[in-house]
């Protein structure tokens, strides 16, 4: 998308430009531009307490709206749902006034670059982290909305994914404020643009798909008919069930999708863990009877082996005949 004229002039701030807030009087010095989008420009700035990211926009409403979201995120914080908010102010220059806010600088490559550098093994872990954050955002009454790799930065070490750009973050039940086609279930003809948990989870699935198809692709028919074959013939094949689930709205919550991914990544351990906890439960419930239970389990195993061997012998027998 092309920028408006007013935004364009904000885009070319030279290194060393001094920005002073009109209301709070804080000073910021531009180090470099971090990026820009439809809503504004983000600069890396030097502050009295080190580096920070400063987002300015020719549209004061969008600044205020994003600040509202970040404030509501900080209220519940502890864990970081988005970049923490440091300051909100206006900058008077050249007769005009520009609204801006200052937030924590989240340093690191975006999700796609990180995976390209470190390998596809990282995908699962990062998506698990992302789903934890989304769970928090949803619990808080919000839907993130504009979820895409550019808005996911991997900081660290140790690597940890963080969401930036709350421009699309919408109260549950309302119409999604901002989205990017490739990640939008409406675009793929797979649901509405009403903000709910499943909207974000759809986008998570598309983020996963984007890692296997970095150039993305256009809609040709849409739906699972177009998307799932692409998943199955890529390195994402092992996630096929999870991705299909998220695309079709089967997961009601981020944590549900999260445990599904865990199951893909560690099926064996998962089963053992389940068995362990079952055994532990039995132990606490029946106390000493657990010993007996254990030998009972052994008996079962013997029985199964016996049945399988019989079937096997029967099979061989039939084959020989």
List interacting residues with another protein (CB under 8 A).
1-2, 4-5, 23, 38, 59-61, 64-65, 67-68, 71, 88-90, 97, 99, 173-181, 186-187, 192-195
- Pick what 85 binds: another protein, Mg ion, ligand ATP, none; C-beta below 5 to 8 Å, kind-dependent: none
Active-site residue, 146 included: yes
Q: Strand locations in the chain, DSSP E?
A: 18-20, 27-37, 40-47, 50-57, 85-93, 96-103, 142-143, 152-155, 160-163, 170-171
Which string of b and e fits 17-44 if b means at least 16 CB within 10 Å?
eebebeeeeeebebbeebebbebbbbbb
| Catalytic residue (one of 146, 165, 184, 196) | 146
CB atoms within 10 A of CB 97: 12
188, with CB counted inside 10 A (0-12, 13-18, 19+), is: buried
**Site for Mg ion (CB under 5 A): which residue of 58, 133, 135, 165?**
165
Contact 54, 43 (CB under 8 A): yes
Phi, psi of 52, rounded to the nearest 5 degrees? -155, 170
Q: Does 82 bind Mg ion (CB under 5 A)?
A: no
Q: Does 184 bind Mg ion (CB under 5 A)?
A: no
Q: How many helices (H) and strands (E) does the chain have?
A: 10, 10
Q: How far is the CB of 166 from Mg ion (least distance, A)?
A: 8
Q: Identify which of residues 124 and 149 has a Cβ nearer to another protein in the complex.
A: 149
- Pick what 40 binds: another protein, ligand ATP, Mg ion, none; C-beta below 5 to 8 Å, kind-dependent: ligand ATP
**Site for Mg ion (CB under 5 A): which residue of 153, 167, 196, 260?**
167
In angstroms, the CA 30 to CA 56 distance is 12
Q: Identify which of residues 83 and 245 has a Cβ nearer to ligand ATP in the complex.
A: 83
Q: Identify which of residues 34 and 212 has a Cβ nearer to ligand ATP in the complex.
A: 34
- Pick what 34 binds: ligand ATP, Mg ion, another protein, none; C-beta below 5 to 8 Å, kind-dependent: ligand ATP
Q: Identify which of residues 30 and 38 has a Cβ nearer to ligand ATP in the complex.
A: 38
Q: How far is the CB of 50 from ligand ATP (least distance, A)?
A: 13
Q: Find, among 197, 200, 201, 184, the residue nearest to 257 by Cα.
A: 201
- Pick what 5 binds: another protein, ligand ATP, Mg ion, none; C-beta below 5 to 8 Å, kind-dependent: another protein
118, with CB counted inside 10 A (0-12, 13-18, 19+), is: middle
- Known catalytic residues are 146
């Amino acid at each position: 998308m092309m920028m408006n004229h007013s935004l364009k002039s904000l885009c070319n701030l030279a290194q060393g430009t001094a920005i002073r807030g009109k209301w709070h009087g804080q000073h910021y010095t531009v180090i470099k531009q971090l990026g820009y989008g439809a809503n504004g420009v983000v600069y890396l700035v030097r502050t009295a307490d080190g580096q920070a990211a400063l987002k300015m926009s020719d549209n004061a409403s969008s600044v205020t709206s994003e600040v509202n979201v970040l404030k509501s995120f900080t209220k519940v914080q502890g864990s970081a749902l988005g970049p923490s908010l440091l300051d909100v102010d206006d900058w008077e220059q050249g007769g005009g006034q520009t609204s801006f806010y200052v937030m924590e600088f989240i340093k690191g490559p975006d999700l796609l670059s990180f995976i390209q550098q470190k390998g596809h093994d990282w995908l699962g872990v990062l998506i698990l982290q992302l789903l934890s954050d989304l769970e928090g955002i949803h619990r808080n009454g919000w839907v993130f909305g504009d979820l895409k790799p550019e808005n996911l930065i991997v900081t660290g070490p140790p690597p940890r994914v963080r969401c930036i750009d709350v421009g699309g973050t919408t109260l549950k039940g309302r119409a999604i404020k901002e989205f990017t086609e490739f990640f939008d279930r409406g675009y793929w003809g797979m649901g509405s643009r009403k903000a709910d948990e499943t909207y974000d989870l759809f986008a998570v699935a598309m983020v996963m798909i984007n890692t296997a198809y970095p150039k993305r692709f256009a809609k040709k028919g849409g739906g699972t008919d177009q998307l799932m074959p692409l998943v199955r013939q890529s390195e994402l094949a092992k996630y096929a069930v999870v991705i299909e689930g998220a695309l079709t709205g089967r997961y009601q919550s981020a944590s549900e999708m999260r445990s599904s991914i865990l199951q893909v990544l560690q099926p064996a351990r998962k089963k053992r863990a389940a068995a362990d906890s079952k055994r532990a439960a039995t132990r606490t419930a029946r106390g000493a009877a657990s010993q007996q239970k254990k030998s009972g389990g052994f008996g079962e195993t013997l029985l199964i082996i016996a049945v399988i061997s019989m079937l096997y012998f029967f099979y061989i027998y039939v084959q020989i005949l």
